[in-house]
């Protein structure tokens, strides 16, 4: 797959309003075709979500870029991702120099993506489990990004956010969500910015959807 196609995707994201140069640089470097099934490779650089098997999807590049931009990732910042999926979002965060922790609840997908991380040299901490409970062992996190739609904001994720940290999470019905960008201003004080209309597969877990 040519570099030119990735460059064209970067240009498109920039035209659509993504302005964080570190996000754009990472999108320009991560080979999205390595994160999609062979049959989907021709479409890897279109700005669309694609099926990755296990009834799951790799998110649309614009959504990945937008959410990552909202996280305001700094180099070496500790970031928790809920919903490893294909591994693409984690790879973007890794390329940006973040210290990445990622959780996936689908065991087969988790093992598949772990192998891909090894193969591509993407050094992140990954775990199989229910991400709605966060990852207390490594908390607090300067950023938490949830890549599946949730009925509400899981309390544990708010608890595990560092002061000044940001939680980016789609919240709404199963069919459509708004993106919540929550900043932990102090221990018990959060501010929330709500951005309309995104669409994600459901976040399933103790503090998510039942199934």
- The residues annotated as belonging to the active site are 59
- Is there binding between residue 131 and ligand SAM (CB under 6 A)? yes
- Is there binding between residue 31 and ligand SAM (CB under 6 A)? no
Q: Give me the least distance between CB of 185 and ligand SAM, in Å please.
A: 26
Beta strand pairing call for 99-104 and 78-82: parallel
Give the residue, chosen from 83, 143, 170, 172, that forms a contact with ligand SAM under the rule CB under 6 A. 83
> Considering only CA atoms, which of 104, 69, 36 is closest in space to residue 181?
69
Give the residue, chosen from 27, 71, 93, 147, that forms a contact with ligand SAM under the rule CB under 6 A. 147
- Is there binding between residue 68 and ligand SAM (CB under 6 A)? no
The CA distance from 146 to 203, in Å, is 8
Give the residue, chosen from 89, 95, 134, 156, that forms a contact with ligand SAM under the rule CB under 6 A. 89
Burial class from Cβ neighbours inside 10 Å (0-12, 13-18, 19+) for residue 8 reads: middle
- Is there binding between residue 160 and ligand SAM (CB under 6 A)? no
Give the residue, chosen from 6, 13, 66, 132, that forms a contact with ligand SAM under the rule CB under 6 A. 132
Stated as kind and residue range, the H or E segment containing 6 is helix 3-15
Phi and psi at residue 155, to the nearest 5°? -55, -40
Query: At a CB cut-off of 8 Å and minimum separation 6, what does 38 contact?
Result: none
Contact 115, 138 (CB under 8 A): no
Give the residue, chosen from 6, 32, 105, 156, that forms a contact with ligand SAM under the rule CB under 6 A. 105
**Of 8-16, 86-94, 155-163, 180-188, which segment contacts ligand SAM by CB under 6 A?**
86-94
- Is there binding between residue 82 and ligand SAM (CB under 6 A)? yes
Q: Which residue has the tokens 């900043």?
A: 183
Q: Which residues form the interface with ligand SAM (CB under 6 A)? A: 56-59, 82-83, 85-86, 88-89, 103-106, 109, 130-132, 147-148, 200-201, 203-205, 208
């Amino acid at each position: 797959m040519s570099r030119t196609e990735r460059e064209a995707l970067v240009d498109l994201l920039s035209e659509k309003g993504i302005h964080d140069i570190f996000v754009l640089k990472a999108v320009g470097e991560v080979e999205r075709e390595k994160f999609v099934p062979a049959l989907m490779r021709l479409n890897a650089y279109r700005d669309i979500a694609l099926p990755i098997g296990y009834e799951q999807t790799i998110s649309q590049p614009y959504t990945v870029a937008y959410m990552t931009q909202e996280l305001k990732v700094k180099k070496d910042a500790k970031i928790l991702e809920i919903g490893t999926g294909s591994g693409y979002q984690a790879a973007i965060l890794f390329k940006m120099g973040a210290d990445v922790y990622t959780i996936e609840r689908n065991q087969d997908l988790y093992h598949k993506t772990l192998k891909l991380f090894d193969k591509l040299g993407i050094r992140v901490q990954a775990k199989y489990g229910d991400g709605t409970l966060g990852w207390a062992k490594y908390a607090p996190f300067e950023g938490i990004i949830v890549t599946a739609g949730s009925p509400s904001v899981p309390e544990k994720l708010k608890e595990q956010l560092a002061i000044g940290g940001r939680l980016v999470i789609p919240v709404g019905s199963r069919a459509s969500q708004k993106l919540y960008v929550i900043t932990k201003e102090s221990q018990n004080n959060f501010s929330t910015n709500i951005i309309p209309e995104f669409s994600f597969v459901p976040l399933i877990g103790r503090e998510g959807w039942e199934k």
